[in-house]
Amino acid sequence: MRGVAIIGIGCTKVGEHWDKSLRDLAVEASLRAMEDAGLYDADYVLVGNMMSGYLQNQEHLGALVADSLGLQGAGAAKVEAACASGGMAVHMGCQLIASGAADSVLVVGAEKMTDATTPEVTKALAMAEDQEYSAYTGASFIGLNALVARAYMKAYGVEPEDMALFSVICHKHALDNEFAQFRFPITVEAVMNSPIVADPLHLLECAGIGDGAAAVLLASLDGARKIADAPVELLASTVSTDKFSLHQRDDLTSFKAARASAEAAFRRAGLRAEDIDVLEVHDASSALGLIALEDLGFAERGKAAELIRDGGIEIGGRIPTNTFGGLKARGHPVGATGVYQIVELTRQLRGEAGKNQVGGAERGYAQNIGGAGTTITAHILGRVD
């Protein structure tokens, strides 16, 4: 199996893009990635997206984006795994390169959500759950997050303020991210005073609705050394799934797929949690941020709040986390989120993160979740010297 490297990255700002279509966003991010690499070609185009069929009445995104980029003849496909669509697209791109089936793969994640009403987006997100046994009851996706949060708080005596602090730090990190949707500071008090979305979760600790696209151009490691001045290697790319719905599981305070994908990724990379310098986790709600820190081995079970209170996830802390704002503050255009994470880790490992730079960062980890912990991808990146 060949080594896989990232030779180009690009993204759009996350926000309300009333003047741009889903195709426009995907093309903009893709062109930025190709310009960054100095390579305007790809053997395959993979598009991570969850909701285009429902929100835009548009499928066949792979060929649509390839054609729009002038890449007729390239293999192309849409990759869907709910909110993990972006991470899964990167994973599939890695397999194409590693196997020798392709020498270059453009992976772009894109989602256009703000053209729809909030009820329409809520219904679309619920498609990540079992329609026959969960969604038909009226359970929203944030409602499922709330069940997880409530179970976690009860099991470990975690207070709402402990969870809120995770989102406060994400907003702090987003202040200097030009691509972030919510570039303003918040306080724990502000979170606790914001409206309850689904008890116990407040508005200011849940990811919002936004449009955006992010892209990475992948190549073999040997090829990347010839093309790029500073390629970043994908040391591991893994994916795992769990029982489909929360009601089928014995424990709501930990995600089996997170632990399994992490164990496989660390084994493949020959690393441990303590070897990671910068971390991206899937904080669709604050509670998921705390649980991720524990599932991935960065905090003991039930102790993530202590790590956060001690400044451990801030830039300069023990394990800087979501250093560009995460889902909460950078934004969560769902099919693109997993690719944004890879773009941001690449910036860190290249030393291009500006005021968000983690000093001496050599290895990064990205976790992308689809559904309520149902499908989880893991990527470990390493700087190539």
Q: Where are the alpha helices (DSSP H) in the chain?
A: 22-37, 52-55, 61-68, 85-99, 118-125, 141-156, 160-174, 188-193, 221-227, 256-269, 286-295, 304-309, 326-329, 334-350
Q: Do 43 and 181 reside in the same domain of the chain? A: no
- CA separation for the pair 19, 305 (Å, rounded): 41
96: tokens are 């194409």
185: tokens are 């500071």
Q: Angle at the Cα of 262 (from 258 to 263), degrees rounded to 5?
A: 120
Strand 44-48, strand 75-79: pairing: parallel
Answer whether residue 126 is part of any domain: no
| Letter string b/e over residues 211-228, b meaning 16 or more CB atoms within 10 A of that residue's CB | bbbbbbbbbbbebbeebb
- CA separation for the pair 47, 93 (Å, rounded): 10
- The predicted structure's pLDDT at residue 138: 77
- The predicted structure's pLDDT at residue 17: 98
Domain boundary among 232, 266, 299: 232
Q: Do 142 and 36 reside in the same domain of the chain? A: no
- The predicted structure's pLDDT at residue 133: 80
Answer whether residue 123 is part of any domain: no
Q: Angle at the Cα of 29 (from 28 to 32), degrees rounded to 5?
A: 90
Answer whether residue 242 is part of any domain: yes
Answer whether residue 63 is part of any domain: yes
- CA separation for the pair 379, 265 (Å, rounded): 7
Phi, psi values for residue 189, rounded to 5°: -60, -40
- CA separation for the pair 385, 381 (Å, rounded): 13
Please, which residues have CB within 8 angstroms of residue 76's CB and are 6 or more apart in sequence?
Answer: 44, 45, 46, 47, 62, 63, 65, 66
Q: Which residue type is seen at 54?
A: Y
- CA separation for the pair 367, 261 (Å, rounded): 9
Q: Do 358 and 253 reside in the same domain of the chain? A: yes
Active site residue 11: no
Q: Do 35 and 59 reside in the same domain of the chain? A: yes
* Residue bearing tokens 């998921």: 288
- CA separation for the pair 141, 135 (Å, rounded): 9
Q: Angle at the Cα of 367 (from 99 to 216), degrees rounded to 5?
A: 50
- The predicted structure's pLDDT at residue 139: 77
Q: Do 288 and 316 reside in the same domain of the chain? A: yes
Q: Do 14 and 147 reside in the same domain of the chain? A: no
- The predicted structure's pLDDT at residue 134: 77
Which residue range forms the structural domain that includes residue 74? 4-117+210-232
| Number of domains within the chain | 2
Answer whether residue 128 is part of any domain: no
Q: Do 285 and 193 reside in the same domain of the chain? A: yes
Judge whether 106 and 40 are in contact, CB under 8 Å: no
Q: Do 260 and 364 reside in the same domain of the chain? A: yes
Catalytic residue among 83, 94, 170, 206: 83
- The predicted structure's pLDDT at residue 230: 77
Answer whether residue 292 is part of any domain: yes
Q: Which residue type is seen at 166?
A: F
Residues written for the chain: 385
Q: Do 220 and 319 reside in the same domain of the chain? A: no
Q: Do 51 and 183 reside in the same domain of the chain? A: no
- CA separation for the pair 273, 262 (Å, rounded): 9
Q: Which residue type is seen at 142?
A: I
3-state SS assignment for residue 6:
strand
Catalytic residue among 17, 202, 332, 379: 332
CATH number of the domain to which 112 belongs:
3.40.47.10
- CA separation for the pair 74, 182 (Å, rounded): 36
Q: Do 290 and 336 reside in the same domain of the chain? A: yes
Residue (of 234, 279, 289, 292) closest to 89 by Cα position: 234
Judge whether 305 and 344 are in contact, CB under 8 Å: no
Judge whether 360 and 350 are in contact, CB under 8 Å: no
All residue ranges of the chain with pLDDT < 50 are: none
180: tokens are 């972030």
- The predicted structure's pLDDT at residue 227: 82
Answer whether residue 225 is part of any domain: yes
Torsion of the alpha carbons at 149, 152, 157 and 162, rounded to the nearest 10:
-50
Q: Do 369 and 300 reside in the same domain of the chain? A: yes
